[in-house]
Amino acid sequence: MAAQGKCRLCEQDSDLQESHIIPKFVYTYLKDTSPTKKIREANNVNLRKQDGIKLHWLCKACELKFSSWEKYFSENIFHPLQNGQNPVSYNDNFLKFCVSISWRVLKYILEKKYISDFSDEIQIKIQNALSEWKKFLLNQSANPGIHEQHFYNLSGTIENSTHPTSSNIHRYLQRSVAIDVVNWGPKVVIVYAKFPGLILTGFINVENRNDFRDTKVHVKNGVLNHRKISFPQQLWDYLNAKAEVTKKIKQEMSQKQKEKINADYRKLPIDEIITSGTFQALQKDIELYGIEEVFNTNTDDNSSEPKID
C-alpha cells in the first residue's frame, strides 16, 4: 500500500512505495536454505521474522530503478556466488546496486539518529557521501567519486590463522544480515552492509586506501574473484567482534524457544538438515574450531540482523 509523501531520492511529492533497506530476496534465500524455513532478529533472538526492514520511502519510478538493480544483483552476482561460481563478471548495474544499498543504509541510520554522536567533521563527510551517492543514482554524475564501493566474497571457508577468529565466524558471515556505520576514527568511516557470505562497504571517508585493494566496484564492468583480494585488518577484527556478539545473543535464547527449534528439527528428514545452508556453516565452524567448542554455543538456527546491530 502506498503512502503520500516526498520521495527520499528524487524528492518529488508522490505515492510512496514500500521499500526494503536490504532486498527481500536476501531474506527469502536465508529462509529457503534453513531447515526450519525461519529467520530470527539478533536484537530479539526469541522472535522469528519473515522479512527485513521496509519503509515507505520511494516514489514508483525510483522504486522501479532500485528493483531493476536488485534483480540484476540477485540473478548475476548473489546467487552465482552462493552456488560457488568464481570468478563472476559484472556490468554497470552492479555499482548502481551497491551505491543504492550504501545510500539507503546510511539514510536509514541517520533518520534513526543512531550516529548522532559522531563529530561535526564526520557529519559533514556523511552528508557529502549521501549527496554524491544520490547524484550518481539519479544519473547526475558519472561515478560516486571518492565515496567508493568495495565488495567482499566470504561465502567459502575461512582458513585457520594466527589472527583471533570467532568459533561463530562462518555462521555469522553466511547466515546473517547486518547494517552499520563503522567509525574507526576520522580517517576511516564506512557504511557496512552484510549479506549471507558477502560484504559491501561504502566509503564515507577513507584517507589511506592501501588496505582496500582489489575489491573496488568499478563503474562499467569488472570481475569478482575472492581468491585475489586484500582484507583490511580493522574490518576483519570488526567481523570477529560481531561474530562474538551474535554468539552471545544466541546463548541468551530462552529455553522455550530452544525447545521449539528442537521440535522443528525432529520433524525434518536428516538429509534436509545436512544439506541446508545452516548446517553447512555450522560444519565449517566445527572444522575450524572443533565440535566441543562450537556446540557450547550453537543454537542450530539462523540469526538474521535486519536492524542495525
Q: Return the bridge partners of 201, or none.
A: 150, 192
Work out the number of other CB atoms within 10 angstroms of the CB of residue 271: 8
Per-residue pLDDT tens over the stretch 101-138? 999 999 999 999 999 999 999 999 999 999 999 999 99
| CA separation, residue 15 to residues 24, 62, 135 (Å) | 21, 11, 22
C-alpha cell at 207: 584517507
- Cell 555462521 locates to 171
Q: SS3 of 308, please?
A: coil
C-alpha cell at 46: 526469541
| CA separation, residue 167 to residues 29, 193, 244, 286 (Å) | 24, 22, 8, 8
| CA separation, residue 69 to residues 61, 94, 142, 153, 229 (Å) | 13, 7, 17, 19, 24
Report which secondary-structure segment, H or E, holds 94: helix 92-111
pLDDT of residue 232: 86
Report yes or no: 149 and 99 within 8 Å, Cβ to Cβ.
yes
Report yes or no: 178 and 305 within 8 Å, Cβ to Cβ.
yes
Per-residue pLDDT tens over the stretch 77-99? 999 999 999 899 999 999 999 99
Side chain identity, residue 82 = Q
Residues 6 or more apart whose CB falls under 8 angstroms from that of 276 comprise 33, 34, 35
d(CA 166, CA 23): 27
C-alpha cell at 41: 532478529
Report yes or no: 151 and 98 within 8 Å, Cβ to Cβ.
yes
Closest listed residue to residue 28, CA positions, set 196, 270, 160, 259? 196
Q: SS3 of 121, please?
A: helix
pLDDT of residue 52: 85
pLDDT of residue 298: 42
- Show the beta-strand stretches assigned E in the chain: 3-6, 13-20, 39-41, 44-49, 54-58, 88-90, 149-153, 178-183, 188-195, 198-206, 222-224
Which residues of the chain carry a pLDDT beneath 70?
Answer: 1-2, 41-50, 160-163, 227-229, 297-309
pLDDT of residue 81: 94
Closest listed residue to residue 21, CA positions, set 47, 48, 52, 45? 52
Q: SS3 of 30, please?
A: helix
